[in-house]
Amino acid sequence: MATAPIPGYTYGTAEVARSPITDEDFARLKAAVLWTEEDERYLRMAGEVLSDQVEEVLDLWYGFVGAHPHLVYYFTGPDGQPIASYLERVRKRFGQWILDTCLRVYDRAWLDYQQEIALRHHRSKKNQTDQVQSVPIVPLRYMIAFIAPISLTIKPFLARKGHSSEEVEKMHAAWLKSVVLQVALWSYPYARQEDY
């Protein structure tokens, strides 16, 4: 999926954490977000629409994070200043995440990579991939809150290629369901196992 190696992008490799989510629990979680085969089709369409707009989407999202000191804080070093190389490496993976969200099959490899993403935001593994000294965790509250900007801001990009308003709505609904599904998976390391 990636055309050039992306630092720290380990999708489908032995380096990726294994998801503790069973196939049965994953199916139930997808049912809880109203996931359908139609969503899979419309996410693929969204991937085609977004594939040449990834940098513009990232510019918007990074502008949003950069405009909020309490969010850019999670990319800062011991001196309190943002670590430019860290932001850039994460940006490349974030761009690939857009494509993976839309174009990957949601199989065991995808599920495992969601666990890897979760750990990279949690104190379990944050900062290790990029070997930086930054704050030790992105709090769960921001992972959940970020569903809104990540979902609301994508719709104008989905509408740029001349699809009907119904198609845009279906792409957007599929995107939202996927983002909620992923954040639900990313919350795993933040909860006690018996509470998840």
Give long-range contacts, CB 8 A cutoff, 24+ apart: 83-89: 83/132, 83/134, 85/130, 85/132, 86/130, 86/132, 86/134, 87/62, 89/7, 89/8, 89/129, 89/130
The predicted structure's pLDDT at residue 51:
97
CA 50 to chain centre: 15
Residue 67: phi, psi to the nearest 5?
Answer: -80, -5
* Burial class of residue 109 in the structure, from the number of CB atoms within 10 Å of its CB (0-12 exposed, 13-18 middle, 19+ buried): middle
Q: Are 101 and 177 in contact (CB under 8 A)?
A: no
Spell out the residues 6+ positions from residue 72 whose beta carbon is closer than 8 angstroms to its own.
Answer: 65, 66, 82
Q: Are 134 and 75 in contact (CB under 8 A)?
A: yes
All domains of the chain in start order, with CATH: 29-195 (1.10.490.10)
The predicted structure's pLDDT at residue 3:
59
For residues 54 and 170, give the distance between their C-alpha atoms in angstroms, rounded to a whole number.
20
Token pair belonging to 103? 């174009």
How confident is the model over 69-78, as pLDDT tens digits? 999 999 999 9
How confident is the model over 117-153, as pLDDT tens digits? 999 999 999 999 999 999 999 999 999 999 999 999 9
Token pair belonging to 156? 């104008």
Could you list the pLDDT tens digit for every one of the 196 residues in the chain?
Answer: 555 799 999 999 999 999 999 999 999 999 999 999 999 999 999 999 999 999 999 999 999 999 999 999 999 999 999 999 999 999 999 999 999 999 999 999 999 999 999 999 999 999 999 999 999 999 999 999 999 999 999 999 999 999 999 999 999 999 999 999 999 999 999 999 889 9
Handedness of CA 194, 20, 139, 174 (dihedral sign): negative
The predicted structure's pLDDT at residue 4:
73
Spell out the residues 6+ positions from residue 28 whose beta carbon is closer than 8 angstroms to its own.
Answer: none
